Structure formats: structure tokens, C-alpha cells
Amino acid sequence: MQTARYIRHVFGKPRISSDTLDIFSTATDGISYQDVVKYSGLGDSVLYTMGKQVFPKNYELSNSPLRWLIVFVAQGNLYFGSDRLAAGDFVVVPPSHVHMLSSKNESPTYYWCTTNDEWLINVLLSCGYNADEMVVGHTEYSREIVDIFEKVIYSLHHGVDIRIYFVGQIAGIISYFSKDIVKTQKVSECLIERCLDFIEVNRGNVTVDGVANWHHISRRYLYTLFKEYRNISPTEYIMKIRMQAADKYLLTTNFSLSKIAELLGYSDYKHFTRAYKNYYSESPLKRRNDYKRQEGNDIKKTEDDPAGE
């Protein structure tokens, strides 16, 4: 008869395992733990493993499985290497990649499954995942995916063909993710987009170290990302966004130079004026006055010749 192995690991305590679901009956409120159900094919090397994990705060786990790994975040933020995954995010990792999971100041809940089943791996490849890169994405089918994991882990019925059951459920998970395949990206692509958004939201009022620290990556790797995807350094990009914001303030508001300097993080308006002139080759006051003069001429021209003739 086919059987699965159930494993419960409450962090800080020894792992316990059993052939029955009774092992999961203990309450886990407020406790960081891992619940796993594992099945190996009859006498062969095919393996299926599914699990649920409530990660401890400020915890790091490094592992290098020789199998494909799928991780789905249900609650909180989980860090996969340098990438931050929020609720609804998933990551698909081929066996060629070493992965590292970590948490910060919260206990995220996530589900995961692994397999070396060639048929399922072919399904992944046909869905657009690549054996040479780690891919992240976001799915709108969170509730359905949680239900599948919960059912397999905590309601596995004896009397069914467990191997077929595992294959079906993992294939179902892959199917939900593949519906959002157009949203999936390489981790580095996702990360550079988040860095760009962070700089733009802050109108360039950030530092290179600040961007790197916020995204939990090194300064050196940040420079590598910008070189690869923007062919520009993060310092240059920050200045570009900062100056674009400055130009917008000059042309669309009546803010003083001191106020604009303050909004953009400059110590005083002289520092701001010097930076602006170095970037645009003209002073901010000249830029504002020229714009107003041109705008006035355009208005007068329209009044004199409404038809533009």
C-alpha cells in the first residue's frame, strides 16, 4: 500500500515524523513551524514533497535541492536571495540555482513543493519557465492555491493513488501560475524595476546606499543591475530623476528655490542651484523665467491670432 510520510518541525525543537496525519493535530498558534508531506514512488527515485511554513522572525535558511522548487507566499514578506516576495508572489527555482530564504521583522507564511518528476518538469518548461534562471511572478489565484496546499498537507486521503494525486495537485498549482505567466520575470528584472520605482517615487531624494539597503542587496550588485538593464550608473539615474523633479517644480509651481531644494533633499538652495546648473547648463531661475516668457508669448500669439493663421 502506498503511504506518505508526515513531518512536523517546530523551530527550536526536534523534528517528529509519522505515517499518519495525527502529527499535525497539535495547535501551532503563535509558533514558527514547518509541516511537510512527502511521497517517494514505489521503489524508484521520483519524489514529491509539499509543505507549509510559518517562518521565524529574522531567520535565514540556505539550501540547494537537486529538484525544482516552487514557493508561494500567503502572508507577510519573504526574502528569496535579494528579492522581496509579498503575499500572492511566487518563485519557481530550477535545480541549477542555489536558493536562500530569509525573513526580517515578521513571520511570513508560505507554501512550497518540490519534485524531480520529469513529466511535471516538462510541464514547467512548456509553461515558459527556464531551466537556467529563477523566475518570480504574482498570481491572482491565491485562495485556490492555498486550498490545494492545505488539502494535500492536512487532508490527504488513504486509498487513493498517492503518486497520481500528488502529480495532479502540483500540476494544478502550475496551471494557476501559468495563467499569470505574462507577469513573470527574472528575479533581476523584477529587482531593477523595484529599484527604479523606489527612486522615482522619492523623486531622486535617495542615495545609492539607501536604495541598496532598502532592497537588501550590495552596492556593487546595484551597480551591476543598472549597468545590465539601463547602461547607466545608479548615481546617474538618481541625479536624472532628481533633476526632472526639480524641472517640474520650477515650471509648474511657484515654489521658491529654497523650498524646491528642501523637497529634493539639498542642504540649501545654493547647493541645489549649482547641481541644477551643472546638469542643465543654465540656472534654475533662468530656466523658470525663460519658460514663463515663452508661455506668455504663446498666450499672446493665441489671443492675437485665435485660428493660428
Looking at residue 49, its amino acid is: T
* Pair (213, 244) in one structural domain: yes
Name the grid cell of 115.
519534485
Q: How far apart are the first and last CA of the chain?
A: 91
Name the grid cell of 218.
550590495
Owner of C-alpha cell 509539499: 50
Instruction: Compute the average pLDDT of residues 137-162.
Output: 85
Tens of pLDDT, residues 9-32: 998 889 999 888 888 887 777 789
pLDDT over 70, % of the chain: 87
* Pair (58, 125) in one structural domain: yes
pTM value? 0.60
**What is residue 94's three-state secondary structure?**
coil
We report the CATH number of the domain holding residue 281 as 1.10.10.60
Tens of pLDDT, residues 98-115: 677 888 878 899 999 998
Instruction: Compute the average pLDDT of residues 133-161.
Output: 84
What is the number of domains present in the chain?
2
CA atoms within 13 A on the CB side of 252: 6
We report the CATH number of the domain holding residue 67 as 2.60.120.280
| Contact (CB, 8 A) for 112 and 39 | no
Give the residue, 188 or 158, on which the prediction is more confident.
188
Give the residue, 279 or 20, on which the prediction is more confident.
279
Phi-psi region of 203 (alpha: psi -120 to 50; beta: other; left: phi over 0): left
Name the grid cell of 227.
549597468
Q: How confident is the model at residue 73 (pLDDT cuts 50, 70, 90)?
A: very high
Instruction: Compute the average pLDDT of residues 52-68.
Output: 81
Mean pLDDT in the chain? 84
Q: How confident is the model at residue 149 (pLDDT cuts 50, 70, 90)?
A: very high
Q: How confident is the model at residue 44 (pLDDT cuts 50, 70, 90)?
A: low
Q: Taking each helix axis from N to C terminus, what angle separates 284-304 and 269-280, rounded to the nearest 10 degrees?
A: 70
Q: How confident is the model at residue 54 (pLDDT cuts 50, 70, 90)?
A: very high
pLDDT score of 96 more than 80: no
Give me the pLDDT at residue 164, please.
Answer: 85
Give me the pLDDT at residue 296, please.
Answer: 67
Q: How confident is the model at residue 309 (pLDDT cuts 50, 70, 90)?
A: very low
* Pair (30, 163) in one structural domain: yes
In a domain, 270, yes or no: yes
| Contact (CB, 8 A) for 219 and 208 | yes
* Pair (170, 93) in one structural domain: yes
* Pair (179, 201) in one structural domain: no
In a domain, 308, yes or no: no
57-89 per-residue burial string, b: 16 or more CB within 10 A, e: under 16: eeeeeeeeeebbbbbbbbbbbbbbbbbbbebbb
Residues whose CB falls within 8 Å of the CB of residue 130, separated by 6 or more in sequence, listed in order: 94
In a domain, 309, yes or no: no
Distances from the Cα of 172 to the Cα of 31, 111, 146, 147, angstroms: 29, 14, 12, 11
Give me the pLDDT at residue 147, please.
Answer: 94
Q: Whole domain around residue 77: which residue ranges?
A: 5-183
Q: How confident is the model at residue 79 (pLDDT cuts 50, 70, 90)?
A: confident
Q: Which of 162, 183, 204 is the last residue of a domain?
A: 183
Tens of pLDDT, residues 170-187: 998 988 888 765 445 566
Give the residue, 160 or 183, on which the prediction is more confident.
160
Give me the pLDDT at residue 219, please.
Answer: 86
Q: How confident is the model at residue 50 (pLDDT cuts 50, 70, 90)?
A: very high
